[in-house]
Amino acid sequence: MQETTYHIGEVASRVALSLRTVRYYESIGLVKPSGRTDGGFRLYTERDVQRLLLVRALKPTDLTPEELLELLDLRDRLIADQDSSVAGGAGRQARLHELLERGAQRIKLHRERLVAAELAVELIRATTPLDAPASAEP
Amino acid sequence: MQETTYHIGEVASRVALSLRTVRYYESIGLVKPSGRTDGGFRLYTERDVQRLLLVRALKPTDLTPEELLELLDLRDRLIADQDSSVAGGAGRQARLHELLERGAQRIKLHRERLVAAELAVELIRATTPLDAPASAEP
DNA sequence: TTGCTCCTCACGTCACGTGAGGTGGC
DNA sequence: TTGCTCCTCACGTCACGTGAGGTGGC
């Protein structure tokens, strides 16, 4: 049973990233295609695509590439351990949750910045003559 | 009556930006210090500081430096017109509100990305063995 | 007068964008 | 066989970080 694979173009459009960005994520080790054609074309499996989606979604966590890679690999290993009921790594769980917590904090920080930005926009809207009030001069 | 001025170090720490960033914003025309000492030290007024704060707050709008500059200048002119009851520019108001609307849209987009990021974090927390449940083995 | 702050280059970095020149895949 | 997709350099850009070497301000 052959696994379905995709070329980079289809993958990039599905995950809404540029070809360049997908290749860049590969170059820093985040998401490597599962294979290549004889001609050198990258081949992505559905798993690879899911991983790309996860990387894209986790961008606002501001984790370094190294941390993000560690997080994704920890997740993979924990899930694998789970399936084979090895349940090996309490340390791995702790580390994963530490990284997730770090990421969650950064998301909160970004949220605060967005609130500040919205306040600034409202401030300007409020301190600037609004939509010309219906002229009072007849 | 001499206006109080500040050196870049105090300004940078007040607005929580690096010296480099404050100088960079000047180099792209966003916030220029109102003066310099004879020795060349930048002198910032309270207005300059407020402008820096506004620039920092508006960063998530993703407006280009040119757009941001235009926005800030429109605001200044509209406020000045208001004070002198010239009420000159309906076109200016329209343009300002267009820029603000554009910025508000980008903020919304960032908000959606943060929601997606939070969902991803929760997904990983949920699909990964949680905090080791109190061991069932005695 | 001594530090501490500030100055201007100028090179480095991160996360890609953007061709150039060439070849693989259906 | 013809396009369209993909390949690998490799240079460019944006928003700064980070010294280097020198001088101003209180």
> What's the confidence (pLDDT) of residue A57?
98
Q: What percent of chain A has pLDDT over 70?
A: 88
> What's the confidence (pLDDT) of residue B130?
64
Interface test with B, best of A73, A121, A127, A137 (most B CBs within 10 A): A121
Q: Which nucleotide is nearest to B17 (CA to C1')?
A: D16
Q: Which residues of B touch A90 (CB under 8 A)?
A: 132
CA-to-C1' span, A8 to D5 (A): 9
Provide the pairing of β-strand B35-36 with B42-43: antiparallel
Please give the average per-residue pLDDT across A75-92, as a whole number. 77
Write A73-78 long-range contacts (CB < 8 A, 24+).
Answer: A74/A99, A75/B124, A75/B127, A75/B128, A78/B128, A78/B129
Return chain B residues 58..87 having CB < 7 Å to nucleic acid strand D: 59, 64-65
Element (H, E) at A108: helix A90-127
Does A111 contact chain B (CB < 8 Å)?
Answer: yes
Please give the average per-residue pLDDT across A28-36, as a whole number. 97
User: Looking at the C1' of nucleotide D6, which residue has the nearest alpha carbon?
Assistant: A41
- φ, ψ of residue A35 to 5 degrees: the values are -160, -175
Element (H, E) at B42: strand B42-43
Which residue in A7, A58, A8 sits closest to A30, CA to CA? A58
Q: Do B124 and A60 touch (CB under 8 A)?
A: no
Helices and strands counted in chain B (H then E): 5, 2
Query: In strand D, which positions have an atom below 7 A from any protein CB?
Result: 5-8, 15-18, 23-25
Q: Which nucleotide is nearest to A10 (CA to C1')?
A: D5
Look at B80 and A26; give whichever has higher pLDDT: A26
Q: Which nucleotide is nearest to A41 (CA to C1')?
A: D6
> What's the confidence (pLDDT) of residue B27?
97
The C-alpha atoms of residue B104 and residue B110 are separated, in whole angstroms, by 10
**Burial status of residue B71 (CB atoms within 10 A of its CB: 0-12, 13-18, 19 or more):** buried
Interface test with B, best of A128, A131, A137 (most B CBs within 10 A): A128
Q: For residue A101, is pLDDT > 70? A: yes
Q: Which residues of A touch B87 (CB under 8 A)?
A: 129
Residues 14-53 (B) with a CB less than 8 A from some CB of A: none
> What's the confidence (pLDDT) of residue B128?
83
Query: pTM of the predicted model, to two decimals?
Result: 0.90
B65 — pLDDT class (breaks 50, 70, 90): very high
> What's the confidence (pLDDT) of residue A110?
98
Look at B138 and B27; give whichever has higher pLDDT: B27
Question: Shortest Cα distance from A42 to chain B (angstroms)?
Answer: 26
